[in-house]
Amino acid sequence: MSIDFLVAVIITVVGASTPILFAGLGELVTEKSGVLNLGVEGMMLIGAIAAFATVDITGNPWLAVVMAAAAGALISMVFAVLTLSLSANQVATGLALTIFGTGLSTLIGNGFTGRAIKTFDTIFPDVLAKDPFWKVIFGYSPLVYFSFIMVALVAWFLSRTRPGLILRAVGENDVSAHSIGYSVIRVRYAAVAFGGAMAGIGGATFPLVLTPLWAEGLTGGRGWIAIALVVFAGWRPVWLLGGAYFFGLLSTFELYAKASGASWTAILPSEAWAALPYLATVVVLAVISVSKRAGGNAPACLGKPFIPSA
């Protein structure tokens, strides 16, 4: 295996991992506050089309990231109003959000099919960013570096800051948090909005980093993998980073299976490689629940509605 090939593989894996890392981080924070939002896939698609449309119209990929985050947060408010203010069932509302986001992104994206967009330039000088070897560190889209910063920020926020502590308290024991004067509903609104914004950026990664073309349903189930990833990581941001890269690696096998006929990927049909990340998700979820006590790390109030009594 040549160095060039290895570099190419690493770059592909990083690209495939980044969207699920963003979306997973957002969902992790949402779930830490006690809310299970299954609408990640829909919010990612809304973010993807918002980013694509913004670049197509303004040519500015930085603005596209902002718009994707705003669109994801905005659409997540539909979920928040239903589940937090109206105490609707979180599972059903999340599903509806995914169906809605899929439909709406397709409808808006209809006018953009077949158009290519210009995306980020590399941020490091070409000597490093275009070097056949050093590009493995310096040659990525700014979004990739941003995703690492967000892992550190989220980890720091949850474990070291007071608002992070309040957020976790709300997710672990909503009644107590309420009784000592914190607004459970307001904290959860904020956590859902953050989850929406991050899912939006995760979706934006598809047109801005992976392929600069619009395609219907281009996230292809990555939002669901992101949700599984949160369980896999035991609600810990740094573990989420590892999990995202593991699933990113698994999902690149399909690309190589399709691209190169005669290599080791030929032992299985390309459809089997395509199914691998989903199968692996199921297997991994089973394995970790055996090795740990089932759901031992899950926020105690996850998925339960909170209705203030007074």
Partner 1 sequence: MKLKLEKRAEPSALMLYATPVGAVILTMIVGAIIFSVIGYNGLGAVYEVFIAPVATSYKWQDIAIKASPLILIGVGLAVGNRAAIWNIGAEGQYVVGALAGTGVGLLTQNATGPWILPLMLLAGIAGGAAWGAIPALLRNRFHVNETLSSLMMTYVAIHLMNYLVAGPWKDPTGFSFPQTPLVTADQSLPDIIPGTQIHLGVLLTLVIALAMAVLMARSVFGFQVRVVGSAPHAARHGGFSEKQTVWLVFLLSGGLAGLAGIFEVTGPFEQMSLGFPQNYGFTAIIVAFLGRLNPIGVIIAGVVLAITYVGGDMAQSALQLPNASKGIFQAMMLFFLLASDILIRYRVRLVSQAAPAAQPATAKSAA
For residue 185, the surrounding DSSP H or E stretch is helix 184-205
Angle, CA 161 vertex, CA 158 and CA 166 arms, to 5°: 70
Q: Does 266 bind partner 1 (CB under 8 A)?
A: no
Residues 6+ apart with CB under 8 A from 233: 24, 28, 239, 240, 242, 243
**DSSP code per residue over 99-122:** HHHHHHHHHHHGGGTT-B---PPP
Phi-psi region of 220 (alpha: psi -120 to 50; beta: other; left: phi over 0): left
Cβ atoms of residues 109 and 214 within 8 Å: yes
Which lies closer to partner 1 via its Cβ, residue 103 or residue 132?
A: 103
Residue 66 CB coordination number (10 Å): 17
Q: Does 95 bind partner 1 (CB under 8 A)?
A: yes
Identify which range of 6-14, 25-33, 136-144, 282-290 contacts partner 1 by CB under 8 A: 282-290
Q: Does 295 bind partner 1 (CB under 8 A)?
A: yes
Instruction: State CA 44 to chain mean position distance.
Output: 7
- Provide the 8-state DSSP code for 86: S
Q: Does 132 bind partner 1 (CB under 8 A)?
A: no
Site string for partner 1, 139-158 (x = CB under 8 A): --------------------
Q: Does 297 bind partner 1 (CB under 8 A)?
A: no
Q: Does 124 bind partner 1 (CB under 8 A)?
A: no
Which lies closer to partner 1 via its Cβ, residue 134 or residue 278?
A: 278
Spatial separation of the C-alpha atoms in residues 260 and 204, rounded to whole Å? 28
Identify which range of 25-33, 46-54, 240-248, 290-298 contacts partner 1 by CB under 8 A: 290-298
User: Smallest distance, Å, CB 38 to partner 1?
Assistant: 7
Q: Does 74 bind partner 1 (CB under 8 A)?
A: no
Q: Does 96 bind partner 1 (CB under 8 A)?
A: yes
Instruction: State CA 165 to chain mean position distance.
Output: 23
Site string for partner 1, 196-225 (x = CB under 8 A): --------------------xx---x--x-
Cβ atoms of residues 115 and 213 within 8 Å: yes
* Binders in 3-62 for partner 1, by CB under 8 A: 38
Four-residue CA torsion sign, 161, 167, 168, 169: positive
Site string for partner 1, 159-198 (x = CB under 8 A): ----------------------------------------
Residue from 57, 279, 297, 300 binding partner 1 (CB under 8 A): 279
- Provide the 8-state DSSP code for 265: G
The residues of the shown chain that bind partner 1, judged by CB under 8 A, are: 38, 78, 81-82, 86-89, 91-93, 95-97, 99-100, 102-104, 106-108, 110, 216-217, 221, 224, 227-228, 231, 269, 271-272, 274-275, 278-279, 281-282, 285-286, 289-290, 294-295, 310
